[in-house]
Amino acid sequence: MAITRRKLIQAAGAGIGASALGFPAILRAQGDAIRLGLLTVKTGPLASGGLDMERALVMYLRERGNTIAGRKIELFVADTAGVAATARTKTQELVEKNRVQALIGPLDAGSALAIDDYIRAQQIPTMSVAAAEDMTQRKPNPWFVRATSTSSQSAHGMADYSARTLKYQRMAVIADDIPYGHEMVAGFQRVFEEAGGKIVQKLFPPLTVPDYGTYLAQMNQKIDGIFLGFAGSNGFRWLRQFNEYGLKGKTNVVGGMTALDEAVLRNMGDEALGILTACWYSAEIDNPVNRKFSPAFRAEAKYDPGFYAAATYVNGAVFQAAMEAVKGKIEDKSGFMNALRALKVDTCRGPVAFDTYGNVVGNVYIRKVERKEGRLVNSVIHTYPNVSQFWTYKPEEFLKNPVYSRDWPPAKNLES
C-alpha cells in the first residue's frame, strides 16, 4: 500500500492510527519519546561521582530541550550503589519495566562486568562510563562503547610521564581492591617498568576500608613516589591521612584519573597542591565545548565538573551524534550501533572517535593541582594526543597477554 503525504494528512484528520495505514513499526515509533536509562551510583563510597553523572546528563538534555534528533528524551535513573548484583537487577528493571532503548553507564567496572551478558542478550546499546577493560578487548561486546577510557588508558600516560619526565625510578602503587584498581595499577606498572623504573610495592585496601593507617605504616620509604589508583572519595581520604602521618613533602604523590577528581577536590586544602594526575578530562581544558560546559556546571553545582560529570556529558554528545546520523531511528538497533562506532565528534574532553573494539581514542591530560580564583583546580600541563587503549602497543600483540589484573603483569621488583 503506497502512503502519500495527502493520505497521511487525511488519515491523521480522521483519527486513523499509523498502524492502520500499514507503516512498519520502526516508522510508527519515531513519533514516540526515546526512553534512555542511566545506571549510576547515588549511595555508598562512589556516590559523589555518581550524583555528578546524573547532574551532568540532566544538564545536557535540558540544554537541548530534552529533544535530540527531533525526538523527546525520557530519562530513567537507577542507583546501583556500586554493587555488581544490584547493577544487574537495576539494569533488568530499566529494560524490562521501563523499556529503555539505550543505556548510559554504569559507573564502576564490577557493575559493567555484571551486566555484560545481559546487554548482549537484550541487544541494548550501552554507552559506558565504567572502565572494565576486556569488554573492549579480548571479549568485545558489540552493544557496548566507551567514550571515557579503560582503567589503564590514562595510567599508561601517567607512568610514561613519571619515568621519562619526572625521572622517577622506584615507585609504590596503592589502589582500591576492585577490578578498576587492579587494571589501573597493572597498566601503570607495565609502562613504568618498561621505561626502566621499578614498582617495589603494591597495596590494595578494600573499597570500603574505614582507615588507611595500616597501609600508610607499611609504605616503603625508599621510593621516589607513589601512584594512587583510587575511585570516589577514597583518594581524598587517603591523602588526608597521608598528611596526618607527616608524610607530605617526604614522598611524591601522583594519581590516576579519579584519585583527585574535582568531585572531591573541592573538599581539600593545600595538602593537594602540586599533585599530578592523569585523566582524559579536566575542567580547565580550553576547547569550545568545555568553555561552555565547565562554567555552566560550576554555576549550577557550585564546584567544577570532573571525571564523572564529564563522562555523561561526553556520552550525551556521543548519543546525540549517533541519533542524528540515523535520523532519530533508534529502533534500528544495529544501525544505531554502527553509527555510534563510526562517529567522530568534538566534546568537552576534546575529539572522540572509537577503535574497532568500541573504545575511545582521545586525549589524555597530565594535570597539576593548583589554586585558581580561590579554588583548587586540575590544570593541564601536558597532553598526550589520540591515546588508544593499547597505548603504543600493537593491538594484536597487546591482546595476546592476559587482561590486566593483580597478577599480570608479574611484579618482579617487589621488596618486603
Q: Report the pLDDT value the prediction gives residue 231, as an integer from 0 to 100.
A: 86
Mean of pLDDT values over 170-188: 95
Q: Report the pLDDT value the prediction gives residue 45, as an integer from 0 to 100.
A: 79
25 versus 244: the higher-pLDDT residue is: 244
User: Does residue 5 register a pLDDT over 50?
Assistant: no
Name the average pLDDT for the chain.
92
What distance lies between CA 17 and its chain's CA centroid?
42
pLDDT > 90 in the chain, percent? 85
- CA distances to 220, 229, 268, 282, 304 from 236, rounded to whole Å, are 20, 12, 7, 17, 16
Q: Report the pLDDT value the prediction gives residue 18, as an integer from 0 to 100.
A: 43
Domains annotated for the chain, with CATH where assigned, are 11-149+287-361 (3.40.50.2300), 153-284+363-398 (3.40.50.2300)
Cell numbers at residue 19, please?
A: 498502524
Q: Report the pLDDT value the prediction gives residue 121, as an integer from 0 to 100.
A: 98
Reported as a single tens digit per residue, the pLDDT across 235-263 is 999 999 999 999 998 999 999 999 999 98
Residues 6+ positions from 218 with CB-CB distance below 8 Å:
201, 203
- Cβ proximity of 94 and 33 under 8 Å: no
Mean of pLDDT values over 39-61: 93
- Cβ proximity of 229 and 189 under 8 Å: no
The helix/strand/coil state of 97 is helix
251 versus 1: the higher-pLDDT residue is: 251
Reported as a single tens digit per residue, the pLDDT across 195-210 is 999 999 999 999 889 9
Which of 18-22, 60-64, 122-126, 326-330 shows the lowest per-residue confidence on average (mean pLDDT)? 18-22
Work out the angle between the directed axes of helices 307-325 and 333-342 (0-180°, nearest 10). 120
26 versus 310: the higher-pLDDT residue is: 310
User: Does residue 160 register a pLDDT over 50?
Assistant: yes
Q: Report the pLDDT value the prediction gives residue 31, as an integer from 0 to 100.
A: 66
Q: Specify which residues 346 forms β-bridges with.
A: 351
